[in-house]
Structure 1
Amino acid sequence: MTGQRPVDGSPDRAADGPPVALVAGASSGIGAAVARRLAARGSAVALVGRREAALKEVAESIRTVGGTALPLALDLAEPGAPARAVAAAEAGLGPVGVLVCSAGAIRLAGVHETEERHWERQLRINLTVPFLLARQVLPGMRERGSGWIVTIGSGVGCEVVAGSGGYGVSKHAVHRLTELIHEENRDHGVRAVTVAPGWVSTRLAARPSDLGVPDEQVLDAQDIADTVAWLLDRPARMSVGPLIRVEPSASRAAAGTAMTRHLTSSRDRGAGPAAKETP
């Protein structure tokens, strides 16, 4: 396949090129952008998500430029699905050397307004699924002496934002999970980092126009994909993170401020914030 080959000789690269990558939540938004970016670097990429048609579209966009992509339509929240995803990726492409956890669910509400099922769903997708995926790939990475685990966190998980509910809690927790993975595995050649974006223009986020913010002041998915690629290009001797915040430059586009304004606007309209989930 075509694609840029590494030149720094890092041991976290397979002898014949960049490692196989598995991207969870790859059918749209940040996950799709990361999958395309990793494929452009030369990785064969397993695309995991719930919407088969959307996954196939992303896979085709990768293949048309000479990349290798394997779409795997799975709901990672289902029991056993993370293990099946890793097994299918490794059977089809080889050992997973890069895991990117980008699947996400969000429902904004105060603690007293949050239904148990919404709380459980957000913690399952935003926290437990990354844990289960990491648990599957870590033994192989440790044995090979190389690997990357990248979780897509949130700037909201770095702050106390009223109304962020299970989303804020789960993102804060996945930040700590990633720190633990990094600390426990750094001497085995495995690096883990959370990329915690601020406001990114995706289907999970409020539309900039609804809050009077110009589109160009908000991050886009490619910004986050480029950040992930930059991380993977660091030499093996270098540790970055394990928490990296990526925020818009404009203060009015800050994640916490934007979420607070979105919640206030929704309540003023008498409409509860809708639940959203990376497909």
Structure 2
Amino acid sequence: MKLRKVTAATAAVLALGLTATACGSDDGDGNGSGSSGGDKKITVGIKFDQPGIGQKTPQGYAGLDVDVATYVAKELGYNADQIEWKESKSADRETMLQRGDVDFIAASYSINEERQKKVDFAGPYLLAHQDVLVRADDDSIKSPSDLNSKKLCSVTGSTSAQNVKEKLAPKAQLQQYPTYSACLNGLQSKAIDALTTDDSILAGYASQANFKGKFKLGGFKMTNENYGIGVKKGSDLKAKINTALEKMVSDGSWKKAVDKNLGPAGYKNEPAPKIGDIKS
């Protein structure tokens, strides 16, 4: 009789334990809304060295891509403190998505056919244009053709330098550095003559307090750069992120983010693009 009482009591304790475990477990819907939501994380790739776009600072992470990614993550069910930020250099982005190192990438990531063979894109969420940044006292570069015979810098894996080299200034001396910051240092030291990438990125660099007055934009709209959010091929996140981006535009958050991050440099942004509308 005593043995049966102990067994029953033990069973009751075990049942209570299992119930408590079930109540505290994740709900499995993948949107971070479970009781243990504080333990859930979403991993997002951004640039760490692009002022105004994506930058790691002593105070945290800042830039348009950071604000866009934070908004999207919230719509997916994640708070800001549940985001794990990972640096996504231009040459590594497709590999990071294919390996599953990140859930999505918002890193001045231009949509093009070659990349679409490897990953999927939500968006676009910004239409930028390729331009050049030169020293403020350099009046020798007034058009893209003037880049012929000049030392032109961009980052490894970027489409910008190849666009110039193949279509606009085939005699340009192409220098590929690992980061735009390295290119900027080369421009300042006169090791290179021009830095080329998207006007949004260049505006961010030119607006930094320590560089004000030292550089200027060429003002060339050489290409259309449709910024998208990269996800793994076939991921259902694409549709969810597109819904979040549409909401961000409609509720005014997108315009606020653009003005906050790029407005100080006098950047004149294009209207918010429609989802799936890729300007060639």
Same fold (TM over 0.5): no
Q: TM-score, normalised by structure 1?
A: 0.28
Tell which has more relative contact order, 1 or 2 (C-alpha 8 A, sep 6+): 2
More helix by share: 1
Higher alpha-carbon Rg = 2
More strand by share: 2
Q: TM-score, normalised by structure 2?
A: 0.28
